[in-house]
Amino acid sequence: MRIIAGLFGILGVFAALFVVLHLARVQSTAITPAALPSPTASAPAPTVREQSQQIQQNYQQAVEQVMEQSRRQMPEEAE
């Protein structure tokens, strides 16, 4: 009985390995070289400081948009 259980265990491991390898192959073929940005065609990579400033600006703009939307909705709710 233990031999059969061991065989099923090994078959299960091989089945899981097959599924993982198949999914990895499908995923790797889904990313085509044309979809990836060309390092020579793009602008130079921004510095950490520039990235930080961009994130802060994006966050500030998002907060301002939310605040503006809430200001517009408040008079309607007051009525």
Q: Any idea where the domains of the chain sit in the sequence?
A: 1-31, 47-79
Distance CA 44, CA 23 (A): 34
Q: For the residues 47-61, what does the mean pLDDT come to?
A: 93
Encode pLDDT of 65-79 as tens digits.
888 887 777 665 555
The token duo for 55 is: 């994130």
Model pTM greater than 0.85?
A: no
Are 46 and 54 in contact by the 8 Å Cβ rule? The answer is yes
The token duo for 69 is: 């939307």
Encode pLDDT of 3-29 as tens digits.
998 999 999 999 999 999 999 888 887
Encode pLDDT of 41-51 as tens digits.
567 788 999 99
For residues 16 and 32, the model is more confident at 16
pLDDT score, position 58: 93
